[in-house]
Each structure stands twice: as structure tokens, then as C-alpha cells.
């Protein structure tokens, strides 16, 4: 049996898109044929609430589990969910000091750090990067990458993206732009895959992100 891969979304700053990316990726990966479970490590329970907003006739395509506890408890629960899924997505709280984030660093195979291209986000990303790089030195095989989110076509965003290229972690070659479709999908408890033609470009972006994540997890299709 193939081993379940664990992908953690983490950041120091709130509101950078961890939950949004988790949910879009979940449906994108499920659509690609993978059994997905989401471990909601954030006490705010945004992922759980998001999935709960889906209609009974069109439920969210991945199970969402609210999780609490110390590293031993989380490890036990993650291992339990891993037996029934091909990939687990860990949606973390917005703090790199939070014990759940520290647990995610120990449990993940791949860490994605959403970054909104603004100067203040760059500063907080430096701190996350240090932590992830230090963890990678301890845990061979762990991969980390920066994921630009809410990207706008402005000169400032372009400058910040260029600076990201100087970070020691690689930048995922599939950005998510600033689009209403991402915010809209949360309201409906779905993802951009369930919205109409207006979300076509968002779907294409998520498809590219799915491909990039599959590559990072070593999946070849
Ligand atoms: N690419 C995007 N385009 C437009 N809006 C976005 C995008 N990504 C996220 N958002 C919006 O930004 C807000 C924060 O996103 P989200 O809740 O996913 O961030 P988060 O990192 O999980 O936040 P927290 O740290 O509080 O858990 C939400 O209102 C969401 O709809
Ligand atoms: Mg969140």
C-alpha cells in the first residue's frame, strides 16, 4: 500500500490563505483521484466550518477533522486518518509558536507557506522560513516551499515576488491570484471547482497548484 503523504499549510501571520489553499487543494486533489482528509489543527476551526457550510446534496469532497492535543495525541490521530487517505492536509493556526504548528512540522512531508506579496508579509515569512529550514536539517526528506497567494499585478507585488526568489526555500511555481472566486467559495462551503465560468481562471490556477504539489510529494501521473 502506498504511504499517505502529509502536507501542512503554515504561517506566522493570520489571513494569508492557509485555509483557502487547504480547501481548494483538497477538492483539486480529490478530483485527481486521491482520497483526501483535512486535519484542522487551528482552534478557530475555519476548515471545519467551511466544509460544514456545504449543502447535504453536494458535501465537501474531503473529511475534515478538528484536532486538539499534544504531539503524541496529534501523531496518533494523524496516523489513524493516514490509514484511510492518500493525502492529509494540515491547516495550521496563525502562529509558529503554537504547539499545533510545531506538531505539524514533525508530522508533515511537505510544508507550504502561503505568502501574500507585501513587505510586512515578507518579514513574517523570514521567521517561518528559519523554523522550517531548521526542521528540514533535522528531518531529512521534509520539503518546504513558499506559495505566493493573493497575487496582484502591481509593481509592488512584482518586487516582493522577486525578493522571495532570494529566500532559501523554493517558491512554488504556481501562484494563486487575488480573485473573488476564492472568497466566494468559502461562503458556499465549496471551492472554485463548483463555481461557474467566472471561476475558470481560478480553477486553472488550482489545477497548476495541484500538479506542483503532486510533484513535491513524488506522485507521477
Ligand atoms: N487568493 C485569494 N483571493 C482572494 N481572497 C483570498 C485569497 N486567499 C484568501 N483570501 C481571503 O483572505 C481571507 C483570509 O484567508 P484564509 O482564512 O484562508 O487565511 P488563513 O491564513 O487561513 O487565516 P487564519 O490565519 O486566520 O486562519 C479570507 O477572507 C479569504 O477569503
Ligand atoms: Mg485559517
CA angle 105, 110, 116 (to 5 degrees): 90
- Number of folded domains that form the chain: 1
Q: What is the CATH number of the domain that holds 22?
A: 3.40.50.300
pLDDT along the chain (221 residues), means of 10: 91 97 98 98 98 95 97 98 98 97 98 95 94 97 97 94 95 96 95 95 98 92 63
Please say whether the beta carbons of 146 and 161 come within 8 A.
no
Q: Judge if the beta carbon of residue 14 lies within 6 A of ligand 1.
A: yes
- Give the pLDDT of residue 221: 63
* Phi, psi for residue 147 in degrees, rounded to 5: -125, 100
143 forms beta bridges with 110
Question: Which residue owns the Cα nearest ligand 1 atom 11?
Answer: 183
> Residue 129: inside a domain, yes or no?
yes
Report the SS3 class of residue 202. helix
Tell the residue number behind the cell numbers 522560513, with chain if given. Answer: 129
Question: Which residue owns the Cα nearest ligand 1 atom 15?
Answer: 17
The residue range of the domain holding 202 is 5-216
- Give the pLDDT of residue 1: 54
> Residue 122: inside a domain, yes or no?
yes
Please say whether the beta carbons of 111 and 144 come within 8 A.
yes
Give percent of the chain above pLDDT 70: 99
Instruction: Determine the number of helices (DSSP H) and then strands (DSSP E) in the chain.
Output: 8, 6
- Give the pLDDT of residue 219: 86
The number of the ligand 1 atom at minimal distance from the alpha carbon of 186 is: 31
- For a mutational test of ligand 1's pocket, the pick from 8, 20, 26, 191, i.e. the residue with the most ligand atoms closer than 8 A to its C-beta, is 20
> Residue 221: inside a domain, yes or no?
no
Tell me the CA–centroid distance for residue 39 and ligand 2, in Å: 12
Strand 36-40 versus strand 87-91 pairing type:
parallel
Does the pTM of the predicted model rise above 0.95? yes
> Residue 77: inside a domain, yes or no?
yes
Alpha helix (H) residue ranges in the chain: 18-31, 46-52, 71-82, 99-107, 119-138, 155-164, 180-187, 200-216
Sheet arrangement for strand 110-115: 63-66, 36-40, 87-91, 5-9, 110-115, 143-148
- Give the pLDDT of residue 2: 77
Amino acid at each position: 500500500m502506498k504511504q499517505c503523504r502529509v502536507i501542512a499549510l503554515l504561517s506566522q501571520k493570520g489571513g494569508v490563505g492557509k485555509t483557502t489553499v487547504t480547501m481548494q487543494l483538497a477538492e483539486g486533489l480529490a478530483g485527481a483521484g486521491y482520497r483526501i482528509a483535512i486535519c484542522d489543527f487551528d482552534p478557530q476551526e475555519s476548515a471545519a466550518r467551511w466544509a460544514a457550510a456545504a449543502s447535504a446534496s453536494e458535501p465537501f469532497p474531503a473529511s475534515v477533522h478538528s484536532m486538539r492535543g499534544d504531539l503524541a495525541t496529534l501523531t496518533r490521530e494523524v496516523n489513524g486518518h493516514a490509514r484511510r487517505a492518500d493525502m492529509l492536509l494540515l491547516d495550521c493556526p496563525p502562529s509558529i509558536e503554537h504547539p499545533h504548528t510545531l506538531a505539524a512540522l514533525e508530522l508533515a512531508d511537505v510544508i507550504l507557506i502561503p505568502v501574500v506579496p507585501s513587505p510586512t508579509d515578507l518579514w513574517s515569512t523570514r521567521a517561518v522560513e528559519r523554523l522550517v529550514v531548521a526542521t528540514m536539517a533535522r528531518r531529512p526528506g521534509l520539503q518546504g516551499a513558499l506559495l505566493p497567494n493573493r497575487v496582484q499585478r502591481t509593481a509592488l507585488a512584482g518586487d516582493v515576488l522577486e525578493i522571495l526568489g532570494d529566500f532559501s526555500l523554493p517558491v512554488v511555481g504556481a501562484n494563486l491570484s487575488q480573485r473573488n472566486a476564492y472568497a466566494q467559495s468559502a461562503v458556499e462551503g465549496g471551492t472554485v471547482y463548483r463555481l461557474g465560468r467566472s471561476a475558470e481562471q481560478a480553477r486553472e490556477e488550482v489545477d497548476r497548484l495541484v500538479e506542483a504539489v503532486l510533484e513535491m510529494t513524488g506522485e507521477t501521473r
